[in-house]
Each structure stands twice: as structure tokens, then as C-alpha cells.
Structure 1
Amino acid sequence: MSVIQETTPSTSALVLFSGGQDSATCLAWALERFERVETVGFDYGQRHLVEMQARQAVRDGMARALPAWAGRLGEDHVIDLTGYGRIAESALTADRKIEMDARGLPTTFVPGRNLIFLVAAAALADRRGLEVLVGGMCETDYSGYPDCRHETMEVMARALSLGLDKPVVIDTPLMWLTKAETWALAHRIGGDGLVELIVEDSHTCYRGDRAHRHAWGYGCGECPACELRAAGYEEWVSAR
């Protein structure tokens, strides 16, 4: 799904890349489509450094999993947003219990995280000459985060287009996919090799658990992120 349609085909993209299942799938999706692909990650004071480590492991493995497009993968960028993370405290940046808050939002919600990420990514893309922003936001299977919604992406693309005085395209290929369909998309793009890379090296667990290995990857198996990933994997495997 693209927000703000292009008038001419784009050849380059900047992938918002966390090293998780969704962003790994989006990176593969972008490599399949664009001639030049760069990645950007954000250090916003995450409690678990394993997320930043997973980014590099997945990037390194992507060239092996998708050798036909390895030459398309360009530079990686990491933006320091630790000051923002201290302001927008959550269970991902502080020692807090994972539960629902008074608004009905999970305490893993980092207020405005995707909005901040998109502004920073758009500024970087502008300076790097990259035409499309690619993100793993998803409205079908998500943890209740309002900044993952399609409507939010539409408004952000419009605001960025006005603020930068040029069309800003945000591609969200997972927006209407279930987690099972996300596994299926990865398999269609890169077969068993890409799926194995995502299982082995990507990281989703909110608790930063890399001690427990499951069929779907590493994680505690109990937090909402693990439960969603595991259920999607089981549904995909059962449907194959």
C-alpha cells in the first residue's frame, strides 16, 4: 500500500528497519522492487540492545538469502533518538509491567514513535535522494498502536509532503496482512532461506529474550509480540 501516489516509477527506497520480523520482510520486499535500498534504525533508548544487534544480523544475512538483489542493498543509518525515548517512557524503554493502561493501550506503546521515526526518515531520505519510505506498519495484526493505522500513515504522508514541499511516498506493504500472510510473503520473496533468516536472526520479543528458541524464532513466548508471531507462524505452516 502506498500513501501519496507517485507520478513516475520510483527506483530507490529507505526502509525503516528495526530488525524485527515485519521490517525484515519489508526490507526483502523493497529489495525485490527498488534498484537502490538503504535502511535506517532508531536508538530511542530501548531496554534491550538485542534489537540493535538483530538489525545487523538480518542485514548481513539478507545478501545471502537474496543473492540476486544483494547489490541493491546500500548504506545503513542509525539515528540517536534517546532524548525522545526518555520523554515517551513505556514498557519498552523503562522497567514497567506489560499491561493495558487507562486508555486501553498497551504499556508497550511509545507515544508518537512512528510519527517521530517518519519525520526523521523523511529528512534523511531527502538528503540521500531516496524516493520512497517503507515501513512495516500493520492494521490487521497489531498491538493496538494508533500510529500503525492506515489513516495515520495517510495524514503523515500529507504532512511530510507539505513540510518538505514535495510528494512523500510511504509504502506499507504489510498494512492489510495478517501475521500468517506476512510469513507467506517472506516465503514467496525468498523461500525457505529468507524464512530461516527471519526465524533465526530477527527479534520481536518485548522482553528481549534470546535464550529460548521456538519454531518461529527466539523469545519469551508469553509477551504480546511473541504470541502474535507464534500464532501467525503456526497458521502459515498449517496452511502450506
Structure 2
Amino acid sequence: MTTATPLPSCPAAGSAVVLFSGGQDSAACLAWALERFERVETVGFAYGQRHDVELEARQGVLEALRAGFPAWGQRLGADRVLDAGVLGQISDTALTREAEIAYDERGLPNTFVPGRNLLFFTLAAALAQRQGIRHLVAGVCETDYSGYPDCRDDTIKALQVALNLGMAERFVLHTPLMWLDKAQTWELTEALGGEALVDLVVERTHTCYHGERSRRHPWGYGCGACPACRLRAEGWRRYRGLG
């Protein structure tokens, strides 16, 4: 399993597909991939999420990357948004309906969408197989996360085995943020693209579960109260040495 490593002196041969939601973590992973591969395609998923503003944010991030980082822009390939609406049809979660965020008896938040990452990786692998691409990159993380079981390293390792067996391929699932907390994710972002990339992430990405884009904080836009906003804000404070 790939984790964050020193930046290469030149991009590796080959291509990658980045699972790109439009949020902070996937934007950092996209930059990570653009440093490492000659060609990078992106894929997003419309699954009935209540914070579907993230789908609009995706395009803003891609446009800003092309404009502000020409070398990366030359490596950016096709972007697709796939219909994964079946998740919204079968899920009863705070991300797919209007509901207060709460936790169940197992400690799982009701923002957990069962099967989401499993389906996303499967769809991305099917797309990559058609394109002749074997590298998949995603921003799942076991260090600073909301307790989602499909973000765990063991889950991704098992899924890599299953995809390779089921498709007779040799996919590599890269998770650059797996062992990074949010402060370290900000640090990685700065290491990849300097303050310009940090500013891009602040201004362009969207992570808030409530889809709030009218409130601007030092770390970006959001309600400031949902778990995603609180995690992002706390990481920003530690990254900036604010306590």
C-alpha cells in the first residue's frame, strides 16, 4: 500500500485514475498523483449526496490546477462523473437525506454510507481497465477519519486483492493519506504545490457535509460545525501552529 513518500524528481511512466470528490483530501491526492504519473484521469460519483455542491467544486479545482500549475495541467486527462445513484436509493444516512448527524450503538456516525468506497473503487477499476490504467488513487484515511470501516487500510488491501482476482488485472490502490492526520495533509499539500496549492484548496475545494458555501473560514468554506468541518479546522490550526 502506498503512503506519502518523498516527492520524485520526475513523474513515473504510466497513468493513474484519481477518485476525485472535489474535497480537500482528494484534491491533495490529485496533486500527489500529478507529481508521480505522466497522465492522470479523474472520476467523481453522483450518489444522491445532500452536499452535491462538491460536484460543482470539482470543476473549479480542475480549472484552477490547469491555470495555476501548467506542468500538472498538461498531465491532466479526462474527467468523468459516474452515476452511483443506487447508493442514495438504498441508503438511509445523513449524507443522502435531511437528518441530524448522530452515532449508532457501534459508534458509527450516520454519515457513513454503507458500500460507498467499495462501489467507488469497483467502478473506478472498471473504468481504468477499459483505459489500460492500473493505478488507482484515493484519499481514504485511517488516521484522522470518522470511523468509516471502508476507509481502513485492511479494507483497501482486501479490496485490491478482490479487484485483481475479479478482473484478472494488477491494479495498485494508492492511499497517500492513509497514515496522515489533517495537519499532515495540509503539510503535504504545501510540499506538493506551495502556498499557491494551499490557497487553491482553501478557496476551491468543498468538504462540509451540509454543503455550506456562504461562510468563509481560514481553512475554507463550510458550516464550521459538522464533523468534516471540525476535523478540517482542527487540522488547519495545528498546521498553522495555532494550538
Look up the match of 1:173: 176
Q: Does 1:144 align with 2:147?
A: yes
Q: Does 1:51 align with 2:57?
A: no
Residues 17 and 40 in structure 2, CA contact (< 8 A), matched pair in contact too: yes
- The range that moved more, 95-104 or 147-156, is 95-104
Look up the match of 2:193: 190
C-alpha offsets along residues 86-138 of structure 1, whole Å, 9 cap, x if unaligned?
Answer: 10221011011101013210010000110000000000000011120000000
Structure 2: gaps (5+ residues): 4-11
Letter of the 1:219 counterpart: G
Residues 91 and 108 in structure 1, CA contact (< 8 A), matched pair in contact too: yes
Letter of the 1:15 counterpart: V
Letter of the 1:2 counterpart: T
CA distance, structure 2, for counterparts of residue 47 and residue 205 of structure 1: 10
RMSD: 1.3
CA distance, structure 2, for counterparts of residue 41 and residue 220 of structure 1: 23
Residues 16 and 121 in structure 1, CA contact (< 8 A), matched pair in contact too: yes
CA distance, structure 2, for counterparts of residue 64 and residue 187 of structure 1: 18
Look up the match of 1:109: 112
Cα drift, residue 11 of structure 1: 1.3
Q: 1:94 aligns with which of 85, 97, 116?
A: 97
Look up the match of 1:6: none
Look up the match of 1:82: 85
Runs of 4+ residues over 6 Å off in structure 1: none
Letter of the 2:54 counterpart: E
Look up the match of 1:134: 137
Cα drift, residue 220 of structure 1: 0.6
Letter of the 1:201 counterpart: R
Residues 149 and 155 in structure 2, CA contact (< 8 A), matched pair in contact too: yes
What is the SS of the residue equivalent to 2:17? Answer: strand
C-alpha offsets along residues 166-188 of structure 1, whole Å, 9 cap, x if unaligned?
Answer: 21110000000010000000101
C-alpha offsets along residues 15-50 of structure 1, whole Å, 9 cap, x if unaligned?
Answer: 000000000000000000000000000000011221
TM-score, length of structure 2 as denominator length: 0.93
Letter of the 1:178 counterpart: D
C-alpha offsets along residues 157-210 of structure 1, whole Å, 9 cap, x if unaligned?
Answer: 000000011211100000000100000001011011111110001000011110
CA distance, structure 1, for counterparts of residue 59 and residue 139 of structure 2: 17
Q: How many residues align?
A: 234
Q: Does 1:72 align with 2:55?
A: no
C-alpha offsets along residues 43-101 of structure 1, whole Å, 9 cap, x if unaligned?
Answer: 00011221110111111111233222210000001110112221022101101110101
What is the SS of the residue equivalent to 1:35? Answer: strand
Structure 1: gaps (5+ residues): 4-8
Look up the match of 2:2: 2
- Structure 1 residues 17, 215: closer, same or farther in 2, change over 3 A? same
Look up the match of 1:211: 214
TM-score, length of structure 1 as denominator length: 0.95
Letter of the 1:31 counterpart: L
